[in-house]
Amino acid sequence: MRKHPEITIHDLASELRISASTVSRALNDNKRISIKTRKIVQQKAIDMGYRPNILAANLRIKKTMTIGVVVPRIDRYFFSSAISGIEDYAWTKGFNVIISQSNDLLIKEENCVRTLYNNRVDGMIISISMQTNEDNHLRLFSDNHIPILFFDRFCPTIESDRIVVDDFNSGYQITAHLIERGCKRIAHIAGPELLNIYLDRKGGYLKALSEAGISVGDGYLEVTGLTREEGRAAFARLMSLPNPPDGVFCGNDTTALSALEYCRSNKLKVPEDVALVGFSDEPFSAVVTPSLSTVKQPGYEMGFLAAQRIIERIQNTNLPIPFEQIVLPSKLIIRQSS
């Protein structure tokens, strides 16, 4: 039931008849202060209900103990689990996390990044939007030597740490799997070419095909925004081809789901008529019927590692740690749809 009057180190100091700096040091467990004094001060702090003014400390120390996060959308499972990982680690280190979403819009992303910059976050973890085709806003950080770390979707022109999964190899595995299960005509619904992840997935697809001596059928490569609607349209186009595919690697689970729904309403059997594979292992993928083959990305782990990495960098801004691209393993999950 304590009331407003905030206790400061000066209150503690005068109460104990010592100086404020001693109080400050004692509170921070500075070894220059005798254990005895430290104990006394710390106890008094508790007794008087002292809480440090982080603002003042941060102003003095010129750090905010905050890391900024920008993701396309919070409510997508992959991103929310990544955020979960970021939060969990950051909190153990006393860092706060402020989150913002770009809605996959470049202009919104620029706005987010600028706001984080103005808020003086100590570092930024970002997964760029589908539209991001330039990097001026990102340079706000890199040019000013504020740590920046990309996860999943990165901007190739900014030198920095990155945490990704091996999209190329995953795309390769998916396609190889389709080939192995007997598909002869394999199509791919790809995402925006601006993004490394989709480019890589497509690359893996192409490599697997060419290794197997299969050429990409006419019209078998669709490039879309990977929304539900675009996915459905793209899949419809594929299935209306004179020689429709018997296996489709969809750029994400959302489009795979659209494909599934298209099949349902058009009485196509999955996987008999056409085998389907998605990407991301969204929560719904395991439970739709037929369940969706997909690639599981370790969202939580990526976030956790990202936080770990960036905090390490924040705490060693002077040390010249080389930038690193960390590739986490993803896992092909074969279910009923293929």
Instruction: List interacting residues with DNA (CB under 7 A).
Output: 6, 8-10, 17-22, 24-25, 27-28, 31-34, 36-37, 50, 52-53, 56-57, 59-62
In angstroms, what is the minimal distance from the CB of 221 to DNA?
52
Asked if 203 contacts 231 with a C-beta cutoff of 8 angstroms, the reply is no
**Residue 52 identity:** P
Cα 263 from Cα 270, distance rounded (Å): 7
258 burial (CB, 10 Å; 0-12 / 13-18 / 19+) is buried
Whole-number Cα distances in Å, 254 to 7, 149, 232, 295: 54, 27, 10, 13
Check residue 143 for interaction with a second copy (CB under 8 A). Answer: yes
- 250 three-state secondary structure: strand
CB atoms within 10 A of CB 101: 19
Check residue 8 for interaction with a second copy (CB under 8 A). Answer: no
What is the torsion angle, in degrees rounded to the nearest 10, for the CA atoms of residue 163, residue 126, residue 169 and residue 246? 160
Residue 74 touches which of DNA, a second copy, none (CB < 5 to 8 A by kind)? Answer: a second copy
- Give residues 13-42 in contact with a second copy (rule: CB under 8 A): none
Asked if 329 contacts 164 with a C-beta cutoff of 8 angstroms, the reply is no
Residue 33 touches which of DNA, a second copy, none (CB < 5 to 8 A by kind)? Answer: DNA
The stretch among 163-171, 216-224, 238-246, 287-295 that binds a second copy (CB under 8 A) is: 287-295
310 burial (CB, 10 Å; 0-12 / 13-18 / 19+) is buried
Check residue 305 for interaction with a second copy (CB under 8 A). Answer: no
Residue from 32, 55, 213, 272 binding a second copy (CB under 8 A)? 55
Residue 28 touches which of DNA, a second copy, none (CB < 5 to 8 A by kind)? Answer: DNA
β-bridge mates for residue 220, sequence order:
none
Check residue 281 for interaction with a second copy (CB under 8 A). Answer: no
Whose Cβ is closer to DNA: residue 9's or residue 190's?
9
The stretch among 30-38, 116-124, 194-202, 216-224 that binds a second copy (CB under 8 A) is: 116-124
Check residue 336 for interaction with a second copy (CB under 8 A). Answer: no
Whose Cβ is closer to a second copy: residue 112's or residue 186's?
112
Check residue 80 for interaction with a second copy (CB under 8 A). Answer: yes
In angstroms, what is the minimal distance from the CB of 187 to a second copy?
22
In angstroms, what is the minimal distance from the CB of 121 to a second copy?
10
In angstroms, what is the minimal distance from the CB of 140 to DNA?
17
Residue 168 touches which of DNA, a second copy, none (CB < 5 to 8 A by kind)? Answer: none
Whose Cβ is closer to DNA: residue 51's or residue 269's?
51
- Cβ-Cβ contacts under 8 Å for 287 (sequence gap 6 or more): none
Token readout for 291 is 């369940």
Whose Cβ is closer to a second copy: residue 20's or residue 212's?
20
Token readout for 129 is 């939007």
Q: Which helix (H) or strand (E) holds 68?
A: strand 66-71
Residue from 23, 130, 259, 288 binding a second copy (CB under 8 A)? 288
Whose Cβ is closer to a second copy: residue 36's or residue 62's?
62
Cα 126 from Cα 132, distance rounded (Å): 12
Whole-number Cα distances in Å, 67 to 63, 71, 102, 299, 307: 10, 13, 16, 18, 8
Question: What residues make contact with a second copy under the rule CB under 8 A?
Answer: 1-4, 51-56, 58-59, 64, 73-75, 77, 80-81, 83-84, 87-88, 91, 96-101, 115, 117-120, 139, 143-145, 257, 261, 282-284, 287-289, 300
